[in-house]
Structure 1
């Protein structure tokens, strides 16, 4: 791999966030927020006639105003002395959302890439990046430079979105990471866990490890997809390390 390409890849952090509703039950939500949620939810299509409680548990986690981040996965590409590529995946966890976001911010600000640091996510421009920014502000955390997008021109924002890459300007449809993984014959992708089940796994099963493993697997597929979409070789599975 060319030296410039290797340097470029070293400047990327591949990320994924896992989110849940702010509370385990609608009734536990702050009364003011509860009323605002019910108002928002009244505009949802509810073909299954879900109760207010079930609708809250199913839908609220995707909205930064009513959800929270429970872990962040990050992946970085490294090269050894023989120019062999490897991927290291790490989970950022904490007792509180604020702890998770503070550690994530610390990693971004200390990254060797400095102002050249880039973040890559699938549907990151519409979900991961804005969600992280909003929850940082809610928790009183100043945004790190790589997440500050206000007033910047598109080419000044160091964000990569594999969904955006796949759209090629077509904004009509969403294409999942699982579908693209299957299309490009990338190992992994489909698992017994899915985003809509995270709430139950977190609050009912209380199985954080299961969520973190799902997040780590997602990061691996995301990274491999980015390699495929640039016509680069996949990272050897033996060179992938996951730190849970």
Structure 2
């Protein structure tokens, strides 16, 4: 039996053996109730989906994330390659290094958060929009009351809300923590962690949005949605679309590395969705942190609703630190969720 073949070069329909890091395992059931596992694995040459049927699971010990030697053959499922496992056994770090020639490649979690502001030019546009909405009778009753009581105040309120849309807002700060995926620790392999901030530098000076976006994209240039994860709170509905929409506005040529049209979006862990077990309901990051006993990222001076005020007061360093603290809190919530619910 041939073995140690690079994953992209695996032959179809031929029994082979490979050494991999299994990064995730999910129990499934067939329509007849038989257990099987879908798993993901990678090594220095690439990544591959695994299928482990009940007969193999019954014959071998329980499989979990870690280092494994696999035998089986490459097949196709829904036009995607998968490795159908015939046998698996745990291997040591020394065995892996001997055959791969390098340390195991471990999946990474990119925990991120963005802070946004309304575009200066939107201030003029918002007044015209409100006037037109009022004239056409399309304004909600409560907004009509605010508008008629104080037009300038309602215009200012709507202007600041422009930060929530990529058509009227921009990214002022984007923070990312890069670290290992929780619950996947291999003895003898270093687990490096790092923090990165784009948009506001370490000295508190603002950077151009296009430069910030380019820096972020460069950080994630090796992101693999089949093994790595982008982590954040409400990132499926807000942060990720906003980032790529602003790439479009800034004429940055990029192929989005996630597909939000998928039913289960590969490579994304949204803590808000996981709190609701996949349901698209809202809960704030601060409320989850409080429930889990995690110190809030909010302070009397810094929170999301005060970013505009902080920016006007030239407190860019405080915005940067608040953005980072949001990411740190999100990372801790992510670790707790993975420890309790799995991936």
- Give the TM-score normalised by structure 1: 0.76
The alpha-carbon deviation at position 188 of structure 1 amounts to: 3.4
- Unaligned regions of 5+ residues in structure 1, if any? 233-244
Distance change in 2, residues 1:124/1:8 (3 Å): farther
The aligned residue for residue 9 of structure 2 is none
Q: CA RMSD in A?
A: 3.3
| Superimposed CA distance per residue, residues 171-192 of structure 1 (whole angstroms, 9 cap, x where no aligned partner) | 4x42111111111111333323
- 4+ aligned runs moved over 3 Å, structure 1: 2-10, 33-50, 78-87, 113-117
Quick one: higher RCO (CA 8 Å, sep 6+), 1 or 2?
1
| Superimposed CA distance per residue, residues 14-48 of structure 1 (whole angstroms, 9 cap, x where no aligned partner) | 01000001118713xxx5x7645765797465365
The aligned residue for residue 214 of structure 2 is 102
Distance change in 2, residues 1:80/1:212 (3 Å): farther
| Superimposed CA distance per residue, residues 79-114 of structure 1 (whole angstroms, 9 cap, x where no aligned partner) | 797667564222112522111111111111145x58
1:196 aligns with 2:305: yes
Alignment of 1:67-216 (within 5 A): 67-78=169-180, 87-93=193-199, 95-111=207-223, 113=224, 116-147=227-258, 149=259, 153-155=262-264, 157-171=266-280, 173-192=281-300, 193-202=302-311, 204-216=312-324
Q: Is the 8 A contact 2:109 2:229 kept in 1?
A: yes
Alignment length (residue pairs): 222
Alpha-carbon separation, structure 2, partners of 1:199 and 1:105:
25
Alpha-carbon separation, structure 1, partners of 2:324 and 2:288:
17
SS of the residue corresponding to residue 224 of structure 1 reads helix
- Unaligned regions of 5+ residues in structure 2, if any? 1-20, 24-64, 67-103, 200-205
Q: Is the 8 A contact 2:297 2:322 kept in 1?
A: no
Alpha-carbon separation, structure 2, partners of 1:80 and 1:53:
55
Aligned match of 1:21 in 97, 118, 122? 118
Alignment of 1:39-54 (within 5 A): 43=139, 45-46=142-143, 49=147, 51-54=153-156
Distance change in 2, residues 1:38/1:121 (3 Å): farther
| Higher Rg | 2
Alpha-carbon separation, structure 2, partners of 1:156 and 1:174:
18
| Larger proportion of helix | 1
| Superimposed CA distance per residue, residues 116-169 of structure 1 (whole angstroms, 9 cap, x where no aligned partner) | 33211101111101111111111111234424x26x533453221000001124
Distance change in 2, residues 1:91/1:129 (3 Å): same
| Larger proportion of strand | 2
Distance change in 2, residues 1:131/1:8 (3 Å): farther
Q: Is the 8 A contact 2:122 2:162 kept in 1?
A: no
